[in-house]
Amino acid sequence: MPKTETESGLPLDNIQIVDFSRLLPGPWCTQFLSDLGADVIKVEMPGTGDMSRHNPPRYEDTSVYFASVNGGKRGITLDLASTEGRGIAHRLIKQADVVVESFRPGVARKLEIDYEAARKLTPDIIYCSITGFGQTGPLSHISGHDLVIQSIAGFMGLGASAGALPQVPGFQAADYAGASVAGLGILAALIRRLRTGEGCNIDLAMYDSLFGMCNIALTGAMAGAVGRDDGTRLEAWGGNPRYAIYGTADGKAVAVALLETRLWAAFCQAVGRPDLIDHDESPDARHSDHGESAEDYRKVISDYCLSRNRDELVDEMVVKGIPISPVYTPEEALASRNVKGRGLIEFTETNGEANIPHIVNPLASSGLATSRREEAPTLGGDGQAIMRELGYSNEEVKNFCKEGVVEP
């Protein structure tokens, strides 16, 4: 049953979103909004669907990746290259509050589902286009892959050793930055519409979103741009010995974050080195490289960490309230006591069994999002029911299935 027919008590009850997006930014954004109560209808191409359906690993016939960004949605397939498919899309848009798409600039217009077409159908529509570099600008024609965007945002090489190539990031920062800002934009547009009745055309660039989050990485460059660069830098990428990664006796690693003077003093007391405490330490030392003291600081931290196994060390520090934490593998993170203690994993039911884990929306504990998410849609699995909601007769639905406009 669509959420528009029920009241869940969530903020986006009775908001319907038509989601033409694929891969990560758009789907993660709309899944988040679904958690907030929106009825999200995912539109895919017949046959292959969203390409992320085919990403490994799999839960039997379902991609783990796909399931992790498309839970709680309903699904329909449409051949948007056909007149009939576009006609169905137009009916979907006509009853929608929000449209999200992630086509290359110009493709939505060719398919006749762009903002201008949508606005004619629904004058107050909120339309969000998610691309790598936006609808305009010198790079708007470039595919918006996360690695490409991260590489030119200005921070990828900050922690690299001199002469070494930067490493491929372990986190899709551009994808999630775009997804997060898109969600904020859609929510802001919905609030404004309540006041003014106006829709909105959101040109959401993943690059703009990530660049806007690089303010710390760009502090030196921004100072230099106005002639105020004195050569100092906020050090948070390994040059500060009190904010770095250290090895442990069992070949594992810990993250040390002893920026504040009080934390450094607590650590020094705990390891029997009160002589390293500078009670007159100035506030600007917090994110510095600690100059002449750096070698001594790094040695005492390294020696302590190498004297103990990781988990033994962490337990000792946690008891004292000192922020030295384990560097976990994904498997360790998933099974960690903090994840369990915060209730961050729930299980989605498939075939009557709660057997697919999903990460709980961080707003669930505040009552703003559901903590239990329905499974991701099968390819076109809700298509016939959705078409009947749109007013198509059973005979029309059968004919569209025969013609391949939608999945049977």
Distance CA 133, CA 326 (A): 36
Based on the number of CB atoms within 10 Å of its own CB, is 4 exposed (0-12), middle (13-18) or buried (19 or more)? middle
For residue 182, give Cα distances in angstroms to 72, 111, 131, 147, 201.
18, 22, 11, 19, 11
Q: Which two tokens stand for residue 369?
A: 């999002």
β-sheet with 243-247: strand ranges across: 243-247, 253-257, 324-326
- 26, 100 contact by CB (below 8 A): yes
**Residue 131: predicted pLDDT:** 98
Report the largest interatomic distance among the alpha carbons of the chain, rounded to a whole angstrom.
85
pLDDT in the model for residue 5: 45
Q: What is the pTM of this model?
A: 0.93
Distance between alpha carbon 56 and the CA centroid of its chain, in Å? 19
Q: Residue 8 has what pLDDT?
A: 74
Torsion angle of alpha carbons 129, 362, 263, 328, nearest 10°?
Answer: -90
Signed CA dihedral, 66, 67, 73, 75: sign only:
positive
pLDDT confidence of residue 93: 98
Give phi and psi for 31, each to the nearest 5.
-65, -40
Model pLDDT, residue 3: 44
The per-residue pLDDT for range 204-247, each reduced to its tens digit, is: 999 999 999 999 889 888 999 999 988 888 888 889 999 999 99
Cα–Cα distance between 52 and 377 in angstroms, integer? 13
pLDDT for 4: 42
| Cα–Cα dist 45/350, whole Å | 24
Which residues, given as ranges, of the chain have pLDDT below 50? 1-5
- The structural domains of the chain, ordered by start, are 3-213+371-403 (3.40.50.10540)
Q: Among 143, 122, 121, which Cα is nearest to 132's?
A: 143
The length of the chain, given as a count of residues: 408
pLDDT at 353: 62
Report whether 207 contacts 139 (CB < 8 A): yes
pLDDT digits (tens, 9 = 90+) for 361-389: 999 999 999 999 999 999 999 999 999 99
> Which are the contacts of 14, defined by CB distance < 8 A and separation ≥ 6?
3, 4, 39
